[in-house]
Amino acid sequence: MSDKKKTGFESLAKASLVPQEQMLAVKKEKNSFVIGLPREISLQENRITLTPDAVALLVNNGHDVWMETKAGVGSKFSDQQYSEAGAKIVYSPQEVYKASIILKIEPPTVEEIEYMHPGQTLISAIQMGHLNPEDLHAMMKKKITALAYEFIEDKVGGMPIIRAMSEIAGSTVMLIAAEYLSTANNGKGVILGGITGVPPTKVVIIGAGTVAEFAARAALGLGADVQVFDNHLYKLRRIKHILGQQLYTSTIDTITLSESLKSADVVIGALRAEKGRARHVVTEEMVSKMKPDSLIIDLSIDQGGCVETSEITTLKKPAFRKHDVIHYCVPNVASRVAHTATNALSNIFTPTILRAAEEGGVEEMILTHKWFMKGVYTYKGSLTNESVARKFGLKHKNIELLMAAGRF
């Protein structure tokens, strides 16, 4: 049998059958974190950022959690519960602040910033209403990367932590109002809501966001007469649609709002700041014309308040009187129900930390996820948030450019 003459097609066929190299995506190395949970020392804060169950999940995923002793007591979680979950209990703030990531509720004090070390990551509130430049400069000097959880968004542009705490605040605010309207607290001596044959109490809510939604639902359920003011018509339409009933709504104009305040029993300030600080829509003159023993609960106080006469108070001394009107201006209302609030916070922080570890670290998470990047206000010594910079007349830098420059 004669050999067949080889053709170019045969060699081409053989080459195509040889295993070829394939380009694979480079898998990011999973990072493990050392997470510090300090005990809160300011404003009678009772919440903590992670529950024992969340700690157990993080430890099982290779992370270390260091918790300062008694940090969970205010939320009714013991050191033993955290220890059994795998946390290391430390007995001084100096120890807990050696962790690479500090996860806390309140903004750090100057004393706490002193414990921190260069290059550390801080995730906490910023509370623009009483942020001071000394704390900001101290963090920048230490080259700390600080994220404000009020600014962190989710993938669809919502603010999950603000939403969760607003739901709690809105549900709690009517319980507070009922307390301060009662004779027991030297209030007006009226029931929140109404009974047959007696006119209902009048509740004015300024703002039509999540707090207003939950506060209005609770007030309507008790039988109160509710009015909602906001300058965004789409928010007013939304709250009427969600509540599923006709409701008095109005844009904020001085004359209409002033008239409503004169007859109000309860005023709830729930206006969120759009550029860092809430504006005062209720003037001192309006407050002076309100009924004696009426109540103002300013939930916007953490951003400066939307009532001119508001002054920040604490859970130990939550109320004061001005123009014979009771003012309740506690910035951490959710801390009244600390166990519930801690569970809500933990449900948000835990998957975020796990995601950051999968991405290769906090810096990679910031770089690749815009919704997370929005939480950053200082990055390795540079101020990166425009609203914070404007508040103090400082210059800020674009975080994307900073991070890009740091990678080359």
The three-state secondary structure class of 365 is helix
The CA-based dihedral angle spanning residues 48, 161, 363, 373, taken in that order and rounded to the nearest 10 degrees: -150
Residues 212 and 314 placed together within one structural domain of the fold: yes
Split into its structural domains, the chain has a count of 2
From residue 155, how far is each of 158, 372, 404 by CA, in Å? Answer: 7, 9, 22
Torsions phi, psi of 372, nearest 5?
-80, -35
Sign (positive/negative) of CA torsion 123, 129, 133, 135?
negative
Lowest mean pLDDT among 125-134, 209-218, 302-311, 389-398: 125-134
Residue 29 lies in a domain: no
- Please tell me the predicted confidence (pLDDT) of residue 43: 64
DSSP 58: H
Whether 251 and 189 share a structural domain: yes
Do 139 and 39 fall within a single domain? yes
Among 316, 331, 346, the domain boundary falls at: 331
Q: For residue 33, which of 390, 273, 360 has the smallest C-alpha distance?
A: 360
Residue 128 pLDDT class (50, 70, 90 cuts) = confident
Report yes or no on 6 lying in a domain. Answer: no
pLDDT of residue 384: 92
> What pLDDT score does 10 carry?
59
Query: Which of 312, 331, 350 finishes a domain?
Result: 331
Q: Whole domain around residue 217: which residue ranges?
A: 165-331
Distance of alpha carbon 202 from alpha carbon 373, whole angstroms: 42
Confidence (pTM):
0.84
**What band does 120 get if pLDDT is binned at 50, 70 and 90?**
very high
CATH number of the domain residue 70 falls in? 3.40.50.720
- pLDDT interval class at 21 (50, 70, 90): low
State whether 144 and 179 are in the same domain: no
In whole angstroms, give the CA distance from residue 326 to residue 295: 5
List phi, psi (to 5°) of 202.
Answer: -105, 125
Q: How large is the C-alpha radius of gyration of the chain?
A: 27
Say which residues have a Cβ less than 8 Å from residue 20's Cβ, sequence separation at least 6.
Answer: none
Instruction: Please indicate, yes or no, if residue 25 is contained in any of the structural domains.
Output: no
Tell which residue, 257, 163, 147, 261, has the closest CA to residue 212: 163
> Is residue 5 in some structural domain?
no
| Residues 44-73: b if buried by 16+ CB within 10 A, e if exposed | bbbbbbbbbebbbbbbeeebbbbbbbebbe
Does residue 22 contact residue 313 with C-beta atoms inside 8 Å?
Answer: no
Q: Do 316 and 384 belong to one domain? A: no
Range of weakest confidence among 20-24, 45-49, 72-76, 96-100: 20-24
Distance CA 356, CA 83 (A): 24
- The reply to whether 67 falls in a domain is yes
Q: Give residue 332's pLDDT band: very low, low, confident or very high (50, 70, 90).
A: confident
Residue 169 token pair: 């605040």
Question: What's the pLDDT band for 190 if we cut at 50, 70, 90?
Answer: very high
Same domain, 298 and 347: no
- Residue 338 and residue 208 in contact, taking contact as beta carbons nearer than 8 Å: no
Task: Say what the pLDDT of residue 402 is.
Answer: 83
Which of 124, 147, 155, 140 is closest to 49 using CA atoms?
124
**pLDDT tens-digit readout, 211-270:** 999 999 999 999 999 999 999 999 999 999 999 888 999 999 999 999 999 999 999 999
Q: What integer is the mean pLDDT of 35-57?
A: 93
Taking the mean position of all CA atoms in its chain, how far away is CA 172? Answer: 16
User: What is the rounded distance in angstroms from the CA atom of residue 296 to the CA atom of residue 120?
Assistant: 40
Is the per-residue pLDDT at 113 higher than 90? yes
Domain closes at, from 297, 331, 365: 331
Residue 292: which of 148, 395, 168, 187 has the closest Cα? 187
Same domain, 304 and 341: no
CA distances from 354 to 107, 112, 197, 357, 358 (A): 23, 26, 57, 5, 6
Looking at the fold, whether 83 and 43 belong to one and the same domain comes out as yes
188 shares a domain with 123: no
Q: Are residues 273 and 351 in the same domain?
A: no
The encoded tokens of residue 59 equal: 């430890």
**pLDDT (0 to 100) of residue 62:** 94
How far is residue 361's CA from residue 118's CA, in Å, rounded to a whole number? 17
pLDDT band at 274 (very low <50, low <70, confident <90, very high): low
Co-location of 123 and 238 in the same domain: no
The band of 6, judged by pLDDT with boundaries at 50, 70 and 90, is low
Cβ(95)–Cβ(64) under 8 Å?
A: no
Whether 160 maps to a domain, the answer reads no
Continuous H helices in 74-147: 79-85, 93-96, 110-115, 133-141
Rounded to an integer, what distance in angstroms lies between the CA atom of residue 151 and that of residue 377? 9
